């Protein structure tokens, strides 16, 4: 179940990224092939989705204000977004990146609670981008910026080290079948990249409703020397993360939801042991 309680598919090149041996995932975002991630596997499937009239209007009218283009020449996305969002004089004390915001309900909810924080959301699903833009317009929220692009490339190319105060990854696709575990977003290489982009004291908050994935997340996060768990295992749900109607329904039926909150510790990046070849195979155990 995604954070917003809806099935998440994505837009443009379905044929290029849809697995041949299984149906497309119902969750979201962000892991693509590039030189630092040699597995050559995406954790999301880009598929055509229906954009409503309201979403299309929001994309056309509000996109120029809130949506920023992917640009590898922009090496400090946080500063660029802060400049864009703070054009009216607003200064933001923190910046949080969200990977895969689905239909944007959680993003808008948290942004409204924390007006002094700038939220940068990465989502490849165009109807989801339109849905969040619609919410931003309705609620007159200024502290959100969006990139409709693969989050890993954004992190690698556009986010400066130690520039983020938080990262949200809510209900990424669990890729249930073992042969697809390599497609899961939470892998050692990505976690190391996230840790390097977090400022000391910054946090990484993941949530999932699939227990085997929660166990793998905990294993991978606990193994990262740049991060420290804020709990002895799974964390209580932070008050800022909204509980969707689908989540409430699942909880009534006895289904679980697991939150994990880790903080960037004071270990210098240079002191962290390098990841060994095949590190991402942790997820296949």
With H, G, I as helix, E, B as strand and everything else as coil, classify residue 135.
helix
Residue 14 lies in a domain: no
**Residue holding tokens 């690698």?**
156
Clarify whether 239 is annotated catalytic: no
Measure Cα distances from 217 to 54, 177, 180 in Å: 36, 16, 15
Q: What is the CATH number of the domain that holds 73?
A: 3.40.50.150
pLDDT band at 173 (very low <50, low <70, confident <90, very high): confident
Q: Please check the confidence at residue 20 and state whether its pLDDT lies above 70.
A: no
Q: Let me know if residue 3 belongs to a domain.
A: no
DSSP tag of 24: P
C-alpha 177/C-alpha 72 separation (Å) is 34
| Mean predicted confidence (pLDDT) in 37-42 | 48
What pLDDT is stored for residue 16 in this prediction? 34
Q: How many domains does the chain have?
A: 1
Residue ranges for the known binding site for substrate are: 177, 209, 244-247
pLDDT band at 8 (very low <50, low <70, confident <90, very high): very low
Does any domain span residue 90?
yes
Residue 2 covered by a domain = no
DSSP-assigned beta bridge partners for residue 235 = 259
Q: If pLDDT is split at 50, 70 and 90, which confidence band does 256 have?
A: very high
Tokens 């210098």: give the residue: 268
Q: Which of 173, 266, 271, 280 is catalytic?
A: 173
CA-wise closest residue to 92 among 145, 130, 149: 145
The mean pLDDT of 219-241, rounded to a whole number, is 98
Instruction: Look at residue 224 in the predicted model and tell me its pLDDT.
Output: 98
Would you say residue 8 lies in a domain? no
Asked if residues 166 and 130 have their Cβ atoms less than 8 Å apart, the reply is no
Does a structural domain hold residue 15?
A: no
Give the max Cα distance, the chain: 52
Q: Between 184 and 23, where is the model more confident? A: 184
215 part of a folded domain: yes
283 Cβ partners below 8 Å, 6+ apart?
Answer: 181, 182, 184, 186, 187, 216, 220
d(CA 117, CA 97) in angstroms, rounded, equals: 11
Give the domain extent around 240: 23-284
Instruction: Please state the residue numbers annotated as binding site.
Output: 98, 123, 150, 173, 177, 209, 244-247
For residue 269, pLDDT over 90 is answered with: yes
Q: Which of 40-54, 110-124, 166-180 has the weakest average pLDDT?
A: 40-54
254 inside domain: yes
Q: In the predicted model, is pLDDT for residue 3 greater than 50?
A: no
Q: Is 214 exposed, middle or buried (0-12, 13-18, 19+ CB in 10 A)?
A: buried
């Amino acid at each position: 179940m995604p954070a917003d309680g809806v099935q998440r598919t994505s837009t443009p090149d379905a044929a290029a990224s849809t697995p041949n041996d299984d149906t497309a995932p119902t969750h979201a975002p962000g892991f693509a092939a590039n030189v630092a991630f040699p597995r050559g596997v995406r954790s999301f499937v880009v598929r055509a989705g229906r954009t409503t009239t309201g979403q299309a209007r929001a994309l056309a009218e509000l996109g120029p204000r809130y949506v920023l283009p992917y640009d590898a020449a922009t090496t400090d996305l946080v500063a660029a977004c802060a400049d864009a969002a703070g054009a009216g004089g607003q200064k933001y004390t923190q910046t949080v990146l969200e990977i895969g915001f689905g239909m944007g309900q959680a993003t808008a909810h948290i942004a409204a609670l924390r007006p002094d924080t700038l939220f940068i959301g990465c989502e490849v699903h165009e109807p989801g981008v339109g849905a969040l833009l619609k919410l931003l317009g309705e609620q007159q929220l200024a502290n959100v910026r969006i990139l409709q692009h693969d989050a890993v490339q954004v992190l690698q190319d556009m986010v400066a080290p130690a520039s983020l105060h938080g990262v949200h990854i809510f209900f990424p696709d669990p890729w249930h079948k073992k042969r697809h575990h390599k497609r899961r977003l939470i892998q050692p290489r990505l976690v190391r990249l996230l840790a390097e982009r977090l400022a000391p004291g910054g946090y990484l908050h993941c949530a999932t409703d699939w227990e085997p994935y929660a166990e793998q997340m905990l294993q991978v996060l606990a193994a990262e020397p740049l991060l420290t768990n804020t709990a002895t295992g799974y964390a209580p749900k932070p008050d800022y993360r909204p509980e969707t109607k689908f989540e409430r329904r699942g909880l009534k039926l006895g289904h679980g939801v697991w939150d994990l909150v880790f903080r960037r510790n004071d270990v210098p990046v240079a002191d962290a042991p390098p990841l060994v070849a095949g590190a991402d195979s942790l997820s296949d155990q």
